[in-house]
Amino acid sequence: MVESAGSEVALVIRGKRERPDAATFAGSGKVEEIRQALLEQRSEMVVFDQRLSAAQVRNLERALSEGGPAIRVLDRTDVILNIFAQRARSHEGKLQVELAQLEHLSTRLVRGWTHLERQRGALGKTGGPGEKQIEMDRRLLRERVKKLKERIRKVAKSHDTQRAGRVRSGVLRVALVGYTNAGKSTLFNRLSGGDAYVADLLFATLDTTTRRVWMGDGANVALSDTVGFIRELPHSLVAAFRATLEETAQADLLLHVVDSANPQAHEQIEAVNVVLAEIGAAEVPQILIYNQIDRAHGLAPEIVRDACGKILNIKVSASTGAGIEGLREVLAEGAREASRNSLATAA
């Protein structure tokens, strides 16, 4: 993730404790080891692959800066937010990222202030007499967050209107979900003939793209490419992107795309299912799509079914096209069934 954010990893330091230290997360010996490594590597930033409290960040920065340059400490959430900020392209995506950043910042304001006792005596909108600087900043943050949420609500209404139209038309709604960088956008382009942005980067896609795709006679689907998930996705991001993630919760079918060549594929599947449950999409039917079989040893295009004929998973390669026709046939049959059900309901 650090490299995806544009930084270079100089050294990885690992540690294990029964429980995190309340003050600095890592123990005093490990903190000293990190401080010495910073001096040797001439680095000025430390990233923890965990969530840190504001107090832990502040204490770590003080301890690590002792006897050397000022050190900046980031946690897992900081890095993910940084990547999201770099990737956001649409107006909606930028709104959602800014909201997540501000809500995260609101818990960290105390870090940046050494003048907490400074009082403002101005009147009116800038705060009453005696308002502390940090209190004023928190109030300004709350006001900005409120405005952003209102603008995102308007976007959500537009999405609801579009989804309602697809429901009335009887079109099968299919959403691609999965761990970040599993190949969802490549698969989306392969199925739809589209040109969604594709890159070998974490969170290359932040905006939901939906296209109506013809799968054959009487078979149309509304196919959506969605934001990728990751282990321990920050709650602030889930909340900020709820309008976007609604596309997943409202789908008729989820294609859960998995990087079959990744040795941690099973852990990634579990991480995605955790987020799906958090956004209310756990009950939506899903089919596992084992992608990138061209990079996985011993895998070939295949549709795997259980004893009752239910599809368990489909093995494909979005980059080469192997197995894509089988996937299209599965979607075509689902689309025809959705159309028949829609006609029966109308009758």
How much is the pTM? Answer: 0.68
More confident residue, 316 or 143: 316
Distance of CA 14 to the CA centre of its chain: 25
Residues near 77 by Cβ (< 8 Å), separated by ≥ 6? 51, 104, 234, 236
* pLDDT tens digits, one per residue of 138-151: 777 788 888 888 88
What are the percentages of helix, strand and coil residues in the chain, rounded to 5?
45, 15, 35
Q: Examine the pLDDT at 162 and tell me if it is beyond 90.
A: no
* pLDDT at residue number 155: 72
Highest mean predicted confidence (pLDDT) among 180-194, 212-226, 309-323:
309-323
- pLDDT tier for residue 122 given thresholds of 50, 70 and 90: very low
Q: Please, where are the H alpha helices in the chain?
A: 28-41, 54-65, 76-87, 91-105, 133-169, 184-192, 235-240, 242-249, 265-278, 324-346
Classify residue 1 by burial, with Cβ atoms within 10 Å: 0-12, 13-18, 19+: middle
Domain ranges of the chain: 1-74, 169-346
Angle between helices 91-105 and 133-169 (to 10 degrees): 140
CATH superfamily of 169-346: P-loop containing nucleotide triphosphate hydrolases (3.40.50.300)
Tokens of 188: 């989306």
- In this structure, are strands 119-120 and 131-132 parallel, antiparallel, or unpaired? antiparallel
DSSP character for 198? -
Query: Which of 155, 333, 321, 327 has the alpha carbon at shortest distance from 244?
Result: 155
* pLDDT tens digits, one per residue of 13-61: 998 888 999 999 999 999 999 999 999 999 999 999 988 988 899 999 9
Tokens of 35: 């401080």
Between CA 284 and CA 186 the distance in angstroms is: 23
Overall size of the chain counted in residues: 347
* pLDDT at residue number 48: 94
* pLDDT tens digits, one per residue of 68-111: 889 999 988 888 888 777 776 667 777 777 888 887 777 776 54
Mean confidence (pLDDT) of the chain: 80
- Taking CB atoms within 8 Å and a gap of at least 24, the contacts of 154-162 are 155/92, 155/95, 155/243, 156/242, 156/243, 156/246, 159/243, 159/246, 159/247, 160/246, 162/210
3-state secondary structure of 211: strand
* pLDDT at residue number 117: 43
Contact 267, 231 (CB under 8 A): yes
Residues near 91 by Cβ (< 8 Å), separated by ≥ 6? none
Strand partners, 219: 216
List C-alpha distances in Å: 110 to 66, 150, 296. 20, 27, 48
Phi-psi region of 301 (alpha: psi -120 to 50; beta: other; left: phi over 0): beta
